[in-house]
């Protein structure tokens, strides 16, 4: 028996960045399953974005692809212009795109180039996208909602990829600042998953050499979810049920970072 899927985004338009693979793709498809037409953003994974679009069309919704480098403000503006020109409005924007430096195995491998890439998309790109999308949503009669994808890495930091932890700390600052600026017409929240078993994660050397099993042992829920398992939770923050939630940080990590007494 398939799980019940609510219809929270009927007659809405949802934009998802980084929707060519992994978590972004699953959020985009879940939004379509819940009734939305979807703007599918990608930077370089056009084939992946096309695959996401096909899945969206398979459930009877419209998909519109747009390419942009989110480290460049002018490209973010162009993406927004395309989205609003195509659909006339965007009700929900999910800023999911991020550079994760997955191939890096230690802080000793940090390079200035990697810092620029990770912070350029994760902080600068998220800030400029939130600014651009939210400013346009303020002009809409129905307002809108923005979900910035963070991470529970902010609870512990990361000795492996400190630049990624820094970027996700920055996402919290972006969220809280624009939640204040845009209230009450546009809500801005952070959804923070813990470890997700994406295709990219599965290719990591440490994941293949026992890290997954060690993580499961210390996670109260005893499970590492797939991207599809968390897509609906991420979209909750953009749904009518979350109508009085803004500036929040919602963690979904199976209790891994549960605070002590």
Q: Which pTM was predicted? A: 0.93
pLDDT tens across 110-123, in order? 899 999 999 999 99
Per the prediction, the chain carries an average pLDDT of 93
Instruction: Quickly state the pLDDT bin for 104 (edges 50, 70, 90).
Output: low
Pairing of strands 186-193, 63-67: unpaired
Rounded to an integer, what distance in angstroms lies between the CA atom of residue 29 and that of residue 52? Answer: 7
Q: Give dist(CA 259, CA 261) in Å, integer.
A: 7
Q: Using an 8 Å Cβ cutoff, are 101 and 116 in contact?
A: no
Helices 126-138 and 162-182, interaxial angle, to 10°? 20
| Extents of the domains making up the chain | 13-251
Residue 94 banded pLDDT, cuts 50, 70, 90: very high
Question: What is the rounded CA–CA span in Å between residue 235 and residue 145?
Answer: 10
C-alpha 130/C-alpha 136 separation (Å) is 10
Q: Which of 164, 169, 178, 256 is catalytic?
A: 164
Fold topology of 13-251: Rossmann fold (3.40.50)
List CB contacts of 230: < 8 A, sequence separation 6 or more: 23, 26, 193, 196, 252
Please state, in angstroms and rounded to a whole number, the distance separating the CA atoms of residues 52 and 30: 11
Triad 212, 249, 201: Cα angle to 5°: 25
For residue 148, pLDDT over 80 is answered with yes
Exposure string of 115-131, with b = 16+ CB inside 10 Å and e = fewer, is bebbbbbbbbbbbbbbb
Is 164 one of the annotated active-site residues of the chain?
A: yes
231 φ, ψ (degrees, to nearest 5): -60, -45
Q: Is the pLDDT of residue 151 over 50?
A: yes
């Amino acid at each position: 028996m398939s799980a019940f899927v609510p219809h929270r985004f009927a007659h809405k338009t949802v934009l998802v960045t980084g929707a060519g693979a992994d978590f972004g793709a699953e959020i985009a498809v879940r939004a379509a399953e819940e009734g939305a037409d979807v703007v599918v953003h990608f930077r370089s994974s056009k084939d992946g974005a096309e695959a996401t679009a096909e899945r969206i069309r398979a459930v009877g919704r419209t998909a519109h692809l747009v390419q942009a480098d989110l480290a460049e403000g002018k490209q973010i503006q162009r993406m927004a212009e395309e989205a609003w020109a195509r659909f006339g409005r965007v009700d929900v924007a999910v800023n999911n795109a991020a550079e994760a430096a997955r191939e890096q195995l230690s802080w000793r491998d940090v390079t200035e180039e990697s810092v620029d890439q990770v912070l350029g998309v994760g902080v600068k790109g998220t800030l400029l996208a939130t600014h651009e999308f939210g400013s346009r949503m303020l002009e809409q009669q129905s307002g809108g909602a923005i979900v910035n994808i963070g991470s529970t890495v902010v609870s512990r930091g990361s000795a492996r990829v400190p630049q990624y932890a820094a970027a996700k700390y920055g996402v919290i600052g972006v969220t809280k600042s624009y939640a204040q600026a845009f209230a009450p017409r546009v809500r801005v929240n952070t959804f923070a998953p813990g470890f997700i078993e994406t295709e990219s994660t599965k290719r990591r050397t440490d994941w293949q050499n026992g890290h997954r099993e060690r993580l499961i042992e210390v996670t109260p829920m005893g499970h590492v979810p797939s991207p599809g398992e968390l897509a609906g939770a991420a979209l909750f923050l953009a749904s009518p049920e979350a109508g009085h939630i803004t500036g929040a940080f919602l963690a979904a990590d199976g209790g891994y970072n549960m605070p002590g007494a």
